[in-house]
Amino acid sequence: MKIAVNTRLLLSGKLEGIGWFTLQSLKRIVKAHPEHSFHFLFDRPWDESFMFADNVHPVRLYPQARHPVLYYLFFEYAVAHYLNKVNADLFLSPDGFLSLKFQGPQLPVFHDLNFMHNPDFIPGLSQKYYTHFFPKFARRAKRIATVSHYSKQDIVDTFQYPADQIDVVYNGVHEVFGPVDESTKVATRQRFARGCHYFVYIGALHKRKNIDNMLRAFDRFKTITEKDFKMVIVGAPMFGSSELRQVLGDMKHADDVILAGRQYGDDVRNIVASAEALLLVSHFEGFGIPIIEAMQSDVPVIASNVTSMPEVAGDAALLTDPSSVEQIALAMQSMAKDEKLRQALIEKGRRQRQLFSWDKTAERLWESMEKCLEA
């Protein structure tokens, strides 16, 4: 079988969430199925590290798809032409974009439908593209894979797509994450938090991540407790994060917020694993990978009680209303004062994290692909 894959988000040194999903699942699938030919479709020169096995055939198509107009040209012309030329048996798209001009079986991975529910979280032209084309992609898809049962139900409700044609494929957790020893924690606190204990947020500085309420809650926490905690934020600004500076300007304890920017490898592992707790109090998540990254690191979690986060966290997190600064602040206070609570959540996290691995992701995604191929 000839399986074509949209690999435009496999960018060496620049992998984000969907890029990691693509890398971790595909490198397992292509090695496990040497009987099939995998055509990786890039929109720029590829890195040889993504050639996972001899059955991978890379091709660069034009133009680079980094803008709504270019998305259309790339998928509706370049991709469609290539799929028809090689007579592809399946087109797999880990970022959800399909080619409406290709008539063969297509399997998108819809990670979330945030753009359908929160249009102000996305720039205008991109928002118009997503809301116009993703309903069409859903109708065109042979099946759909998604990363949580919450997102599955959201696809059913929003696109009226048959539930029995949607496969839940949970994310895994990157192997870089794990517990660290006490000396590493001390050194990490010294390097990134001025020697203090700290809460951590990791992810894009995006409006839907609710950074503003998280910071207001931290300010409230600092007001109601005498503990010398810091708030370490790991991530890069994105659309909708311009309010961050304004919120910091209004904070009484802004000096205790540390903007660490992007971090990689051992540094990001050490920052997460040395924290007192991780916060992910987003307005919307299709999955919420930082939750299981923290669990893998033996770090307790404060998460939102909405969308997919209760499903991913299970009973191993303190769940809060993302719109309630008071609730988030009280959860921080509990983590800072109650060591028995922290240890109980860490132990529950060790059990919850067993549900998620990239091996399981690859197996479930391949099962979804097989259903398309068999059909």
Per-residue pLDDT of 36-52, as tens digits, reads 999 999 999 999 999 99
Does residue 238 register a pLDDT over 80? no
Does residue 245 register a pLDDT over 90? no
Taking only the tens place, the pLDDT of each residue in 269-295 is 999 999 999 999 999 999 999 999 999
Helix (H, G, I), strand (E, B) or coil at 234: strand
The counts of H helices and E strands in the chain are 15, 13
Structure tokens at 211: 């950074």
Burial class (CB in 10 A: 0-12, 13-18, 19+), 160: exposed
What's the CA gap between 189 and 349, in Å, rounded? 23
Does residue 14 register a pLDDT over 60? yes
Question: Domains in the chain, please, with CATH?
Answer: 2-172+357-374 (3.40.50.2000), 182-355 (3.40.50.2000)
Contact yes or no for 24/59 (Cβ under 8 A):
no
Grade residue 119 by pLDDT with cuts at 50, 70 and 90: confident
How many percent of the chain have pLDDT more than 70? 98
β-pair partners for 279? 302
Beta-carbon contacts of residue 288 (< 8 Å; ≥ 6 apart): 280, 282, 303, 308, 309, 312, 313
What's the CA gap between 323 and 306, in Å, rounded? 10
What's the CA gap between 278 and 261, in Å, rounded? 16
Structure tokens at 45: 């020169």
Contact yes or no for 278/299 (Cβ under 8 A):
yes
Q: Which long-range contacts (CB under 8 A, 24 or more apart) does 154-162 make?
A: 154/112, 154/113, 155/110, 155/113, 158/113, 158/116, 159/134, 159/135
What are the backbone dihedrals phi and psi of residue 274, each rounded to the nearest 5 degrees, phi first? -95, 0
pTM equals 0.94
Q: Residue 318 is inside which H or E element, if any?
A: strand 317-320
pLDDT at 80: 98
Shortest CA distance to 151 belongs to which of 169, 127, 176? 169
pLDDT at 246: 86
Does residue 341 register a pLDDT over 90? yes
What's the CA gap between 296 and 181, in Å, rounded? 14
pLDDT at 16: 85
- The H-assigned helical ranges of the chain are 17-32, 68-73, 80-86, 114-117, 124-140, 149-159, 182-192, 211-224, 243-250, 265-273, 289-296, 309-313, 325-337, 339-352, 358-374
AA letter at 112: D
CA 333 centroid distance within chain: 27
Shortest CA distance to 3 belongs to which of 25, 29, 28, 21? 29
Taking only the tens place, the pLDDT of each residue in 257-266 is 999 998 988 9
Helix (H, G, I), strand (E, B) or coil at 12: coil
Mean pLDDT confidence for 303-312: 98
Does residue 303 register a pLDDT over 70? yes
pLDDT at 64: 96
Taking only the tens place, the pLDDT of each residue in 176-204 is 999 999 999 999 999 999 999 999 999 98
Grade residue 375 by pLDDT with cuts at 50, 70 and 90: low
Taking only the tens place, the pLDDT of each residue in 60-91 is 999 999 899 999 999 999 999 999 999 999 99
Beta-carbon contacts of residue 164 (< 8 Å; ≥ 6 apart): none
